[in-house]
Amino acid sequence: MAQRVLITAGASGIGREIAHAFAATSAGVFVCDIDADALGAFAKELPGAMTRRCDVANRREVEEMVASGVNALGGLDVLVNNAGIAGPTVPVEAMDPDEWDKVVAVNLNGTFNVTRCAIPHLKRSTAGVIINMSSVAGRLGYPNRSPYATTKWGLIGFTKTLSMELGEFGIRVNAILPGAVAGPRLDRVYEARAKSGGQTVDAIKTRALANQSLKAFVDPRDVAALAVFLASAAAKSISGQILPIDGDRQQTT
Question: Tens digit of pLDDT for each residue in 148-193?
Answer: 999 999 999 999 999 999 999 999 999 999 998 888 877 887 888 7
User: Letter for the amino acid at 52?
Assistant: R
Strands 172-178 and 50-53: unpaired
Taking CA atoms, 212 is separated from 19, 224, 244, 251, in Å, by 28, 21, 12, 8
- pLDDT at res. 184: 80
- Per-residue DSSP letter, 137: G
pLDDT at 253: 64
Structural contact between residues 28 and 73, judged by C-beta atoms closer than 8 angstroms:
yes
Question: Sign of the C-alpha dihedral, residues 173, 83, 6, 23?
Answer: negative
- Identify the DSSP state of 217: P
Q: According to the model, what pLDDT value does residue 115 have?
A: 98
CB-based contact 130:171 (threshold 8 Å): yes
Q: Which amino acid is at 10?
A: G
Every domain of the chain and the residues it spans: 4-179+219-244, 182-217
Regions of the chain where pLDDT drops below 50? none
pTM confidence score: 0.93
How is domain 4-179+219-244 classified at the architecture level of CATH? 3-Layer(aba) Sandwich (3.40)
Which residues are the active-site residues? 148
Which DSSP letter does residue 219 get? P
